[in-house]
Amino acid sequence: MTLELFQTISVEGMTCPHCDANVTRGLTKLDGIDEVVADGNTAQVRISATKINLDEIAGVITELGYQFKEIAE
């Protein structure tokens, strides 16, 4: 049985649908990530995964030119 994890993070710099797609595409390449929903209007990214490594996620976001801000509540 696989447990599914959910995490919502805040990302600074996403300002358009292209940014949303960029973040979604980048994060879905990570091992264990099942679904990513990026929303530039709220500056939040919701991640569904079998495992979540926030260091890897922050690294991808930074490489894409955005800033990982915090875990959203």
At residue 70, the pLDDT reads 79
pLDDT tens digits, 6-62: 999 999 999 999 999 999 999 999 999 999 999 999 999 999 998 888 899 999 999
Burial class of residue 29 in the structure, from the number of CB atoms within 10 Å of its CB (0-12 exposed, 13-18 middle, 19+ buried): exposed
Report yes or no: 18 and 66 within 8 Å, Cβ to Cβ: no
* Residue ranges making up the domain that contains 46: 5-71
CATH classification at residue 49: 3.30.70.100
